[in-house]
Amino acid sequence: MKKTHTKRLVITVIGLLLTLNFYRAAAQSLGDPVVSITFGSGTATHSGALPTDSGSTSYTYSNADFPSDGSYTIENTTAGAGNVWWSATDHTGNAGGYMMVVNASVSKTDYFYKRTVTGLCSNTTYQFSAWVVNLLRSNDISPPNITFSIEKTDGTIIQSFNTGTIARTNGNYQWVQKSFKFTLPAGVGDVVIKMTNNSAGGAPANDLAIDDIVFRPYGPTITANFGSTSTTTTASACSGSPVSYTMTTTAPAGYSVLWQYQNTSGVWTNFTGASSTASSYTFTSPTLAGTYHYRVVTAQSANINSTLCRVASNELTLTVGAAPVASAIANSPVCAGTTLNLSASAGASYQWTGPNGFTSALQSPVINNVTAAAAGTYHVTIVSTAGCNVTAAVNVSVNAQPIANAGADVSVCEGESTVLYASGGTTYSWLPVTGLSDASIANPVASPTDTTRYTVTVSNGTCSSTAVVIVNVIKKPVASAGADKHITQGQSVVLNGSAKGTNVSYYWTPADNLSSSTVLNPIAGPTEDATYTLHVVSNVGCGAEATDDVFIRVYKKVVVPNTFTPNSDGINDTWAIEALDTYPASITQVFNRYGALVFKSTGYTQAWDGRYGGQDVPSGTYYYMIDLKNGNVLKGWVLVMR
């Protein structure tokens, strides 16, 4: 039996009785070819001379695209023959298929094809056929005319057939089939098939190609059906189940039958044990998926075992559909409140049923937020594209979720620890693990540096749930009074204090010359150098008081006199500049009217006495520049009088 699929099937189908009949009718049936010559195929234009197993010829083989009169070639195209012939390809239709191309001989007695066939059955009718094409483009040239003859091996003609004129076609070449039937006389089993030219060749004329030569038995009609009176020739079934088929027939008088199936190689094979005279035969259908073919052959009883002498019925086709694989799975056991995922093996359609009234037509249905009512057995019917179905089942368990508890939120001072308390399961897992003594126990010690949200996963062995506890870390007081400042006497400055910590208060000391002692950024206006202290205190008792100082330097106002009298009378003998000594980094320079430097001092620890280089400078006006190094530069003149 021919099997196009080999997958093993797993369903069982009830027995089915189908009947195969054949009967005689006015039409006739053909047997398998005794001879079938296609001349082969290839990539080369020419294949070489006619092989001996394909027949013989009295013509001369030529490897030319346009052989001369009385010659032939075997080629797959006549495109190289020029404009005299059509550019033809073979009739068989296979890639690179060859045909026999004949340039007819002037002599009508030469044969261009001959084949001896042996082992035939006498008193049996056969059909001979061949496809022929007129290669000539012009109507002015003699068209092909061929005689087919069937002869005994001694040359006696049993029957002949003349094709008549094979006319030229308009626009292109056209293959035509020529055939006839004949009956072998008693005692004759070997014949010679011969084709001869019936129209003189030459100039050119009677040029043709021939292909697909077939010789086969021809006899009483056999018609096969499924069912005793039906004309149905196809049937279908599902794999995995024995199906009963009964083939019945009434053979003509003197005829026998053989019941056949086509095997995996495509060869028709007799059913073993089937009687050649019985009017019926019952067999069990294949269990594997695939397409199977059956037929009945008949011949005269004496010739029934000869493949060269019997004719065949039409083919019956049985398609055994592949049943789907029966498989159903689930992510069981599942935990209450989670998702149940069901899945069936591949098919064309599905039908699920299950606990709590569940139904679905999906291959992979989902049940969300599953409850204990979903526990039980789920059944699915899987239908294949061939209409075959199987049923599978899967059991589902639903486990209860543990009730997780992580305890109440807690607060700790920075640097301190607390114990966490979880309950509700047999195993515990905390996240994040930072700051925990052991993240896999119910009661770890937590020492976080910042407020942390801890999540504990509580498991009872199959299911788990989570709970959250927050450990609030109360930060200790931190004080920052900001960078030191400097001002000029009479000015003020904003202090840049900052306080950190959880729930803290703050104040400044001393409160003198502050706009407010209880704000972080008061305005300070001291008249002398001063140090202010910022105090930060925890209102919840976490950590000691924090303090930090800021120093404010107060620069005095510099008063520059514009006259002094260095005459050694003890009165106003030096250039005394009030408060300049409070600017130790200051630079004082004095220039004469020509721009020459006559005095320079850093810090002005000693007042100028009106001398330069050990000599008194002349009385007159001098010009000064005093850089206080605080961003201020004083410029002016001073009169030296003697």
Helices and strands counted in the chain (H then E): 0, 51
Question: Are 499 and 458 found together in one domain?
Answer: no
Question: Are 142 and 209 found together in one domain?
Answer: yes
Q: Out of 1-5, 44-48, 477-481, 517-521, which region has the weakest mean confidence (pLDDT)? A: 1-5
**Cα–Cα distance between 148 and 161 in angstroms, integer?**
5
- 26, pLDDT greater than 70: no
- 17, pLDDT greater than 50: no
- 15, pLDDT greater than 70: no
Domain that holds residue 359: 328-399
Question: Are 497 and 516 found together in one domain?
Answer: yes
- 13, pLDDT greater than 90: no
Question: Are 214 and 344 found together in one domain?
Answer: no
- DSSP states along 430-460: EE--TTBS-TTSSS-EE--SS-EEEEEEEE-
SS3 317: strand
Question: Are 56 and 145 found together in one domain?
Answer: yes
| Predicted pLDDT at 94 | 86
> Of the candidates 491, 520, 555, which is a domain's last residue?
555
**Residue 5 within any structural domain of the chain:** no
| Predicted pLDDT at 474 | 97
Place 248 in a pLDDT band, splitting at 50, 70 and 90. Answer: confident
**Residue 458 within any structural domain of the chain:** yes
- 2, pLDDT greater than 60: no
CATH number at residue 544: 2.60.40.10
CATH number at residue 617: 2.60.40
CATH number at residue 164: 2.60.120.260
> Of the candidates 196, 220, 244, which is a domain's last residue?
220
| Predicted pLDDT at 3 | 34
Question: Are 266 and 383 found together in one domain?
Answer: no
Q: What is the pLDDT of residues 404-445, one digit of tens each?
A: 999 999 999 999 999 999 999 999 999 999 999 999 999 999
Question: Are 175 and 45 found together in one domain?
Answer: yes
**Residue 310 within any structural domain of the chain:** yes
Place 278 in a pLDDT band, splitting at 50, 70 and 90. Answer: confident
| Predicted pLDDT at 19 | 37
Distance of CA 419 to the CA centre of its chain: 52
**Cβ neighbours of residue 128 under 8 Å, at least 6 residues apart?**
148, 150, 161, 179, 180, 181, 182, 193, 214, 215
Q: Out of 246-250, 319-323, 369-373, 626-630, which region has the weakest mean confidence (pLDDT)? A: 246-250
Q: What is the pLDDT of residues 129-186, one digit of tens each?
A: 999 999 998 876 788 899 999 999 999 999 999 999 998 888 889 999 999 999 999 9
Q: What is the mean pLDDT of the chain?
A: 90
Sign of the alpha-carbon dihedral angle for 305, 308, 312, 315: positive
- DSSP states along 190-249: -EEEEEEE-S---SS-SEEEEEEEEEEEEEE-----BSSS--B-EEEEETTS--EEEEE-
Question: Are 298 and 364 found together in one domain?
Answer: no
**Residue 272 within any structural domain of the chain:** yes
Task: Please count the other Cβ atoms lying within 10 Å of the Cβ belonging to residue 611.
Answer: 12
**Residue 12 within any structural domain of the chain:** no
Residue type, 328: A
The share of the chain scoring above pLDDT 70, in percent, equals 94
Question: Are 392 and 373 found together in one domain?
Answer: yes
Counting the structural domains of the chain, the total is 6
Question: Are 544 and 570 found together in one domain?
Answer: no
Place 1 in a pLDDT band, splitting at 50, 70 and 90. Answer: very low
**Residue 404 within any structural domain of the chain:** no
- 47, pLDDT greater than 80: yes
Of 512, 485, 500, 564, nearest to 537 by C-alpha is: 500
Q: Out of 373-377, 386-390, 547-551, which region has the weakest mean confidence (pLDDT)? A: 386-390
Summarize the confidence of residues 218-228 as an average pLDDT: 81
**Residue 548 within any structural domain of the chain:** yes
**Residue 74 within any structural domain of the chain:** yes
**Cα–Cα distance between 371 and 555 in angstroms, integer?**
83
Question: Are 175 and 275 found together in one domain?
Answer: no
Q: Which residues pair with 608 in a beta bridge?
A: 575
Say if CB 387 and CB 325 are below 8 A apart.
no
Strands 410-413 and 464-474: parallel
> Of the candidates 523, 555, 587, which is a domain's last residue?
555
Q: Out of 299-308, 404-413, 431-440, 520-529, which region has the weakest mean confidence (pLDDT)? A: 299-308
- 106, pLDDT greater than 80: no
Question: Are 594 and 636 found together in one domain?
Answer: yes
Residue type, 301: S
Q: What is the pLDDT of residues 586-598, one digit of tens each?
A: 999 999 999 999 9
Q: What is the pLDDT of residues 430-441, one digit of tens each?
A: 999 999 999 999
The share of the chain scoring above pLDDT 90, in percent, equals 71
Summarize the confidence of residues 84-104 as an average pLDDT: 92
